[in-house]
Structure 1
Amino acid sequence: MHLAAINLHPVKSTAIRPVEEAYVGRAGIVGDREWMVVDGSGKLVTAREMRELFTVVADTPATGGPDGVDLLLSRAGMDPLEVSAPGEEAPMVDVRLFEKALTARAVGDAADAWVRKALGRDDLRLMWCADPAKRPMNPAKYRPGEYASFHDSSPVSLISDASAAQIDEWADDDVPVGRFRANLLIGGVAAAFAEDDWKEVAIGGARFRVAAPIDRCVMTTIDPETLTSGKDPLRTLAVHRKWDGKVWAAIHLAVVHPGEIAVGDEVVVSE
């Protein structure tokens, strides 16, 4: 088995940014979901309710963005914006990531104005995760010392090529693997959903613990190119992969040992 792809999403719900190599830290892969958009109440805004986020490209040094620029925002028809991570003088803001109450650092007026123009809403703000270690994690799934930035749950997500191919084969509509927005795609896996039974995963210099399977939401039904939505893969998963009232595909990982990873690295698992 080998690491077939690494995908980052610097601002939560924005375009996928594939990279050839990356560093895995305690809070996840550097450059992944370290920024997010919130509404006027501080609640997270994702492509679930504002699919135009898929049209925004966010780059950091980790994704090949320009040197000296913490975040570069771009979108067709707009001038790009260079953004610096806010310093300690920037206000800390109470925000909500789904049911989780967090604090984040406000990025500033220029970034807010750009995001509002790009997405067509005048109440949006851009936030940066200043201290992932302060984020509370679900104690039923995560251990002390395990934390994440603005990820839904775990710092890293993984799906195998065999699982993605099986879901696509079952489905009436095309379901490309990108619909699952997993950080890591594993190639050469012998059987679909083999990752359900993995306990630990070693890739390059990093080692992970499997924390939980991933229950899937409506975001997987949105085509990131056309912004239209259909019934798959949720319809298909409801037939083949439904239990506890949810549908499942891919796995959450917690970081046991940080390190460098690269496409092509051998993948070693324990069950």
Structure 2
Amino acid sequence: MTPNLSAINLFPLKSGAPLPQQQATVEPRGLVGDRRWMVVDAGGKFVTGRELSRLTLVRATPDGNALQLAAPGMPALHVAAPDPRGARIDTAVWGADVTPLLADAAAHAWLSTFLGADLRLVHMDDACTRRLKAKYDGRYGRDEDVVSFADGFPLLLISQAALDALNAKLAQPVPMLRFRPNLVVAGSAPHAEDGWRCIRIGGIEFEVAKPCTRCVFTTVDFERGERDSAGEPLRTLTTYRRTPDGVTFGQNLIPRGGGTLRIGDAVEVLS
């Protein structure tokens, strides 16, 4: 059986709720609309579901360059696209500097109320670039490679078989979205992606850059906005997916072209 693309997911807000898609457009920094918005604290430090697990309950839906926010018990909020001439803030994502635009005061207040902390919403517009090499010092990718507010790379891919193998070891299975992949591949062996170096999906080539190392965020149930009391699935992953670089699950991708991905597209392993 030829592997195929079985799911596509957008995460418009870093650590926010997932938005499953039937198709998506690929650009150099990842899927269009993926992780272009982020929450920062009053000091400008980026905030994720590692610190505030309820952030996974915030559903951010792109509306052109604007955003619609929704969360349990909160009124829906339309966030206008910040003026490119507006205020920017100096921040960083895992040591990689970036200077996004600040959203309006209403967005800051909405997030602060729901999450119970003094927070700001920022936006990565076209003029805001984050270089991939700033984090990885040339070990992966090319000098011109860029990335969104994602932790490290433009896209994340996981095989369905890898999740099935994990769930066979767990007392309580977890959904694929616990791992927040952009792309899910069906029809391969478990962790087949670990051996891929270059793939093509829907006519678009991707460099398979490095395994995705996993942290406590995998223990957050994104539908409840709470951590798993038993520390799963990370606890079980440490028993068979530990490497010198950490616990790995899935592979990070760098696009080497652009175009549209669709559910059902064949996944060709080029090397």
User: Which TM-score band (shorter chain)?
Assistant: over 0.9
- SS state at 1:116 partner: helix
Question: AA paired with 1:239?
Answer: T
- SS state at 1:236 partner: helix
156-165 vs 131-140, which deviates more?
Answer: 131-140
User: Displacement, 1:132?
Assistant: 4.9
Mapped pair 1:231 → 2:231? yes
User: Displacement, 1:90?
Assistant: 1.1
Question: AA paired with 1:126?
Answer: L
Question: Partner residue of 2:43?
Answer: 41
User: Displacement, 1:225?
Assistant: 2.1
TM-score scaled by structure 1? 0.93
2:81 to 65, 78, 85: 85
1:99 to 76, 80, 95: 95
Question: Partner residue of 1:177?
Answer: 176
- SS state at 2:231 partner: coil
For residues 39-65 of structure 1, the C-alpha deviation after alignment (integer angstroms, 9 at most, x for no partner) is 01111110101011011100014xxxx
For residues 167-219 of structure 1, the C-alpha deviation after alignment (integer angstroms, 9 at most, x for no partner) is 11122332221111000000111x11110010112111422100100100101
Cα distance in structure 1, aligned partners of 2:19 and 2:82:
23
For residues 200-241 of structure 1, the C-alpha deviation after alignment (integer angstroms, 9 at most, x for no partner) is 121114221001001001010111123231322211111111
140-149 vs 46-55, which deviates more?
Answer: 140-149
Cα distance in structure 2, aligned partners of 1:7 and 1:84:
23
20-29 vs 79-88, which deviates more?
Answer: 79-88
252-261 vs 170-179, which deviates more?
Answer: 170-179
Question: Partner residue of 2:58?
Answer: 56
Q: Which sections of structure 1, spanning at least 5 residues, go unmatched?
A: 62-67
**Does the 8 Å CA contact 2:100/2:128 hold for their aligned counterparts?**
no
Q: Which sections of structure 2, spanning at least 5 residues, go unmatched?
A: none
Question: Partner residue of 1:210?
Answer: 208
Cα distance in structure 1, aligned partners of 2:153 and 2:245:
21
68-77 vs 246-255, which deviates more?
Answer: 68-77
**Does the 8 Å CA contact 1:69/1:83 hold for their aligned counterparts?**
no
**Does the 8 Å CA contact 2:35/2:148 hold for their aligned counterparts?**
yes
TM-score scaled by structure 2? 0.93
**Does the 8 Å CA contact 1:132/1:148 hold for their aligned counterparts?**
no
Cα distance in structure 2, aligned partners of 1:152 and 1:144:
18
Distance 1:46 1:268, change over 3 A: same
Mapped pair 1:263 → 2:263? yes
User: Displacement, 1:10?
Assistant: 0.3
Distance 1:95 1:133, change over 3 A: closer
Mapped pair 1:120 → 2:122? no
RMSD between aligned alpha carbons?
Answer: 1.5
Cα distance in structure 1, aligned partners of 2:111 and 2:157:
29
Distance 1:11 1:44, change over 3 A: same
